[in-house]
Amino acid sequence: MNTFFKKLLLFILIYNSSFGQDDCPPCEIIANPGLEITKSKSKWPELKKGGLIRINSLTNIYYEGEDIYWPLWKISNIYNTDWWTNENSDPWSLTTDWKNNYKKPDHNFNKCVNDELRWKCGYSYTLRLPKNFDENKKYPLVVYLHGSVQESANSLTGRKWSLNNFYMSENDEYIIAAPTKLGIDWSPKKIQDLVEDIRGNIKINDNRIYLTGLSMGGRGTFIVASRLPNLFAAIMPLSPHHRPYSYLPLADKVDHIPTFMHHSTNDATSSFSLAKKMYSKLSETNENIVLDVKNWNHSGWHLIYRDKEKMEWLLSWKK
């Protein structure tokens, strides 16, 4: 029996013994089955031109069976898997500065709640609105998937800097949505509901919705797009991570989508060889594929997001 199936068996045994009826996640609204959209009824905060806004309207939705690879990594003890309980690291805070201006959220959880199960809830997220935001105008939407597995006050705050450094032309302003994941991989179902949540509160150009991410967010870009193949006009996976399983089998589900890939040959964290195989596979049926190769190790993504030419390439595509 190989290592993966040993871990899977161990997970089943631990799951059956550890997660009994007395445990419940801090989200109570059951998500609709499959890819049926679950709409939030929560009220949004006030919109501010050119500002960053924290939104928790999806965090009360419970998604069963979505982050299925999370417990396997939890068993391995590689990461502090309930990092959101650490000091100043609660992702449901409405701050954008966990390091210097942390605001402890008032969860008012009931007695049965097991906060270790919060990863089963919908994503909290940050929106960056254009400087000249007009509520009557339809905007392109860029969904940005962060990397890493374990977060902290520093890394959560760093997203503020990242979002403010995306290149944005005043002649083609767009909205950026940056969800925060608690599981290992990104959930297509949760991202679909996030897009719907934004669409229900802001006018969005449905023909210009884009997906990008780095490292675990790069692999997440492939995962999400493969389950939602008709949602995105183009995707931009950067240094996609190769664990806990290969994203190469997803190629035939995304090979119709214009794709800008980036990877470094000396990346010691994410597999360059797998990215190259993915590029070759996609290139068999799609001419709109770019592989940007650098020697930046596992970094340099901010240079791409700040790059006028690269961001305009992404935003040039329409469904």
Nearest CA among 182, 200, 207, 205 for reference residue 125: 182
Is a pLDDT exceeding 60 seen at residue 16?
no
Nearest CA among 236, 213, 239 for reference residue 299: 239
Residue 18 pLDDT: 40
Token readout for 18 is 């550890």
pLDDT tens across 194-253, in order?
A: 999 999 999 999 999 999 999 999 999 999 999 999 999 999 999 999 988 899 999 999
Helix (H, G, I), strand (E, B) or coil at 143: strand
Residue 250 pLDDT: 97
Nearest CA among 118, 114, 124, 130 for reference residue 84: 118
In order of 24, 200, 224, 317, the CA distances from 292 in angstroms are 44, 35, 21, 18
Mean pLDDT is lowest, of 7-11, 165-169, 280-284, 304-308, for 7-11
Residue 244 pLDDT: 87
* Distance in Å from the first CA to the final CA of the chain: 45
Is a pLDDT exceeding 70 seen at residue 15?
no
Mean pLDDT of 261-270: 97
Map out the domains of the chain with their CATH numbers. Answer: 21-38+49-315 (3.40.50.1820)
For residue 92, the tally of other CB atoms under 10 A from its CB is: 16
Residue type, 91: P
Nearest CA among 121, 7, 110, 69 for reference residue 245: 69
Q: What contacts 161, CB < 8 A, 6 or more positions away?
A: none
Is a pLDDT exceeding 70 seen at residue 77?
no
Nearest CA among 204, 58, 190 for reference residue 129: 204
More reliable by pLDDT, 41 or 192: 192
Quickly state the pLDDT bin for 17 (edges 50, 70, 90).
very low
Quickly state the pLDDT bin for 303 (edges 50, 70, 90).
very high
Helix (H, G, I), strand (E, B) or coil at 165: coil
Phi, psi of 23 (to 5 degrees): -95, 140
Nearest CA among 52, 303, 294 for reference residue 167: 303
Helix (H, G, I), strand (E, B) or coil at 66: coil
Is a pLDDT exceeding 70 seen at residue 58?
yes
Is a pLDDT exceeding 50 seen at residue 11?
no
pLDDT tens across 199-212, in order?
A: 999 999 999 999 99
What is the spatial distance between Cα 123 and Cα 60, in angstroms, rounded to a whole number? 9
Asked whether 48 and 143 are in contact (CB, 8 A), the reply is no
Q: What is the mean pLDDT of the chain?
A: 90
Residues found in the chain: 319
What is the spatial distance between Cα 302 and Cα 17, in angstroms, rounded to a whole number? 44
Asked whether 26 and 113 are in contact (CB, 8 A), the reply is yes
More reliable by pLDDT, 58 or 9: 58
Name the strand (E) or helix (H) holding 73.
Answer: helix 70-75
pLDDT tens across 100-138, in order?
A: 999 999 898 988 899 989 999 999 999 999 999 999 999
